[in-house]
Copies of this chain bind each other. A is one copy, B any other.
Amino acid sequence: MTLTELRYIVALAQEGNFSRAAEFCSVSQPTLSVAIARLEDEFGVQLFERGKGFVSPSAVGHKVVEQAKRALGEAEKVRQVAMLGRDQLEGPLRLGVIHTIGPYLLPQLIHSLKVVAPAMPLAIEENMTATLADMLHDNEVDVVIIALPFDVPGVLTRAIYDESFKVVVPRGHPWESREWIAPEDVAGDEVLLLKAGNCFRDQVLGACPQVSSPETDVRLGHSIGTIRCMVASGLGVSVLPDSALGHPYSNDMISVIPFKEPAPARRVALAWRPGFVRPKAIEALLDAVRGLRSPAYRLLV
C-alpha cells in the first residue's frame, strides 16, 4: 500500500472510470489499472465492481476509499506542518542565560531582536552556568548566554561583548571621592560577594585576589540586586558588572567607582550545539547584539 495507490482508488471512485481516473492522476490507463489490481490483491478484497459501462466501489471499497481520503488528508498535513517550519526565524527560541546577565541584558536584547526576528519569541531560562551547560547538552535550551570561559565539549561559542567590573560603595564611604581603585585595593572581608555557584563570584575573586573568601552568610547575596541593597545599607562594598549599574538601576544610596585601567572585565558569549538546526536564529541573536546601544557593552561582533 502506497500513498499513490490510495490516490488512485480515490480518483477511481470519484471518476467511476479507469480512463478518466488515470487522466486525473496524470498517468496512463494501464498504470492505474495495474495499481488497483495490485492493491486489491494485497488486501485480498475486491474494492471495485467492474460493471458494464461503470466502475463502482464495493461495500468494502466504499469504506476503504473514505478511509483513504482521511489518510491522504493526514499525509498532506504532514507536508503542511513541515512547510510551516521552513522559516528558521519563526517559532520560539529557547534561550538560557545566567542570573548576572539576564535581568540587565535581556530587556534591551529582546527589544533589539524584535526588529530582526519579530516572529521569534524567546523562552527564557535563567540559571547558573553549570545548569545551563547541562540543559544545552540535553537539548532543553537552544542557545545560552554565559560568561567565558565555558568549556563544554561539543559546544560552539562566540564572544559577543566585554563588560568591565566596577566598584560599588555606600554613600559616605571613604573611597567615594577616588577617581579609580586598583584591584588589589579591594580586599578584606567587607567585600560582599554572590553565593557559591555563580560564575561572577569566581570572576571577582579571580580579579581581586586579596578578597577573602567569606565564611559567613552575612556577606553573601543571592543576586546582584541583593548585593546592591546590601551595599546601599552600608554592609560593605562590592564589585559588580557594568551593565548592572546603569539606568534604571541607579539610586543615590550607592556610588560607583571604576577600576584602574586595565579594569577587570568579563567576556560574554553565546553558546549552542554545533548541530543546532536553526543557525539563522543564532545569526539573528548576533544581529540583535549588534543593535545594543548601552556603553556598558563593548561589542565584539
> A70 an interface residue at 8 Å Cβ cutoff?
yes
CB neighbours of A74 from chain B (8 A): 67, 70-71, 73-75
Q: How many monomers of this protein are in the complex?
A: 2
The size of the chain A interface, using a CB distance under 8 A, is 48
> A86 an interface residue at 8 Å Cβ cutoff?
yes
How far apart sit A75 and B59, CA to CA, in the bound complex (Å)? 19
**Contact mask A1-12 → B, CB, 8 Å, 1/0?**
111001000000
> A108 an interface residue at 8 Å Cβ cutoff?
no
Main SS at interface, chain A? mixed
> A38 an interface residue at 8 Å Cβ cutoff?
no
**Contact of B2 with A273 in the complex, beta carbons under 8 Å:** no
**Contact mask A39-51 → B, CB, 8 Å, 1/0?**
0000111111111
> A260 an interface residue at 8 Å Cβ cutoff?
no
**Contact of A60 with B43 in the complex, beta carbons under 8 Å:** no
CB neighbours of A3 from chain B (8 A): 1-3, 75
> A34 an interface residue at 8 Å Cβ cutoff?
no
**Contact of A1 with B47 in the complex, beta carbons under 8 Å:** no
How far apart sit A46 and B83, CA to CA, in the bound complex (Å)? 11
Question: Within the complex, which residue of B56, B68, B81 is in contact with A67, where a contact is CB–CB below 8 Å?
Answer: B81
| Most-contacted residue by chain B among A58, A82, A84, A276 (CB, 10 A) | A82
How far apart sit A67 and B81, CA to CA, in the bound complex (Å)? 8
| Most-contacted residue by chain B among A1, A54, A68, A78 (CB, 10 A) | A78
> A77 an interface residue at 8 Å Cβ cutoff?
yes
> A301 an interface residue at 8 Å Cβ cutoff?
no
CB neighbours of A78 from chain B (8 A): 1, 6, 64, 67-68, 71
Given A2-B2, A58-B277, do A45 and B75 touch, yes or no (CB 8 Å)? no
CB neighbours of A83 from chain B (8 A): 43-45
CB neighbours of A70 from chain B (8 A): 74, 77
